[in-house]
Amino acid sequence: MLGSLMVFALSAPTAAAGGSGAARGWLLVANKGDRTLGIVDPVAGRQIATVPEDGVTGHEVAASPDGKHAFVPIYGNSGVGGRGTDGRLLRVIDLATHQVVDTVDFGKGVRPHCAVVGPKNGLLYVTTELENSVTVIDPQTLKLVGTIPTGQAESHMLAITRDGRRGYTANVGPGTVSVLDLEGRKTLAVIPVSPTTQRIALSVDDRWAFTADQTKPQLAVIDTATNGVKTWVELPGVGYGTAPTPDGRWLLVALSGISKVGVIDLDAMKLVRTLDVPRSPQEVLVRPDGAVAYVSCDASRRIAAIDLKNWKVEKLIDAGPGADGLAWAKRE
């Protein structure tokens, strides 16, 4: 158990912080530049606290289902496949006290990156790039309880089906997607996509997996029934993070190089509009009620909040430098 770390409180939450109903919650952001977890009041539109991660550096964040804790893998100071430190820790942050309260040690440098909570079993799945695997953690005991080989290097991001049975990793350098049996803890298939790929998301019915070609402005649409690329969606710029709306109608895609967010009609599999956002959009998170999408904008220290009814950026939220991974933590 770690002792208390200094917390930079920017302001105290108001009584209305987090909103009400389906919108009630905190928006969490991994601020790579200052190595903190930012806690954002999405209603007030401001970051109300930052928690030092005491590590180099967390890129992604996941929230516990009860909204009490955040899990931040400490990746290291390199880019994917680049030279730099090899992270070996995962920080557990109490969202009520704004403190690191525990740490998972992987035992050696593995560059842990993307954390996802299993929707059925509640286990924590973390991509461990240098091991070509996903590591399984019991979030109650914080013990490592298993590993799942991906069969590929640089397994960077992970998406899990709604039934919790399948996982899909985007393997950056190989340009592939690994299909994982999470219950059997084995690789089922490796899907060739492009010379280099990034990020991954699933449609709400788990019929499609989406990953962005990093060499051409196009998005791969993978048929999860056949484990092959079904079609490509042309984009006006190279894509990055994606997220579907809860109704299954739209897919939002960050277009980092041109500072836009694209909107794809999933019935037509076609881009139908773009929205201007601050520089270097990275990750897209759609609020559980489907009313707002949040887009982290790395180079701009901002998060763009997009009204999904009117398709307009309704506010820009100041975050930390290198704002990247996002998560939604519910509030009672």
238-271: pLDDT as tens digits: 999 999 999 999 999 999 999 999 999 999 999 9
Helix (H) / strand (E) element for 112: namely strand 112-117
In sequence order, what E strands does 143-202 have?
A: 143-149, 155-160, 166-171, 176-181, 186-192, 197-202
Task: Say if residue 308's pLDDT is above 50.
Answer: yes
Cα(311)–Cα(227) distance, integer angstroms? 33
pLDDT for 171-187, tens place per residue? 999 999 999 999 999 99
Nearest residue to 266 (alpha-carbon basis) of 277, 252, 254: 252
Domain boundaries, the chain: 8-237+326-330
| pLDDT computed for residue 332 by the predictor | 76
Task: Say if residue 292's pLDDT is above 90.
Answer: yes
Question: What is the band of 19 on the pLDDT scale with cuts at 50, 70, 90?
Answer: very low
Read off the DSSP letter of residue 118: -
Q: Are 160 and 122 in contact (CB under 8 A)?
A: no
| pLDDT computed for residue 103 by the predictor | 98
Task: Say if residue 10's pLDDT is above 90.
Answer: no
Question: What is the band of 306 on the pLDDT scale with cuts at 50, 70, 90?
Answer: very high
- Give 14-56 as a DSSP string: PTTTT-SGGG-EEEEEEETTTTEEEEEETTTTEEEEEEE-SSS
Q: What is the pTM of this model?
A: 0.93
**261 beta partners:** 254, 275
pLDDT for 64-78, tens place per residue? 999 999 999 999 999
In sequence order, what E strands does 193-297 have?
A: 197-202, 208-213, 218-223, 228-234, 242-244, 250-255, 260-265, 270-276, 281-286, 292-297
pLDDT for 310-326, tens place per residue? 999 999 999 999 999 99
CATH number for the segment(s) 8-237+326-330: 2.130.10.10
Cα(271)–Cα(262) distance, integer angstroms? 7
Question: What is the band of 55 on the pLDDT scale with cuts at 50, 70, 90?
Answer: confident
60 vs 55, higher pLDDT: 60
Sequence-ordered alpha helix ranges (H) in the chain: none
Cα(180)–Cα(127) distance, integer angstroms? 12
**Average pLDDT of the chain, as a whole number:** 93
| Amino acid of residue 242 | T
Burial class (CB in 10 A: 0-12, 13-18, 19+), 253: buried
Cα angle value 73/74/76 (rounded, 5°): 140
pLDDT for 105-125, tens place per residue? 999 999 999 999 999 999 999
| Amino acid of residue 281 | P
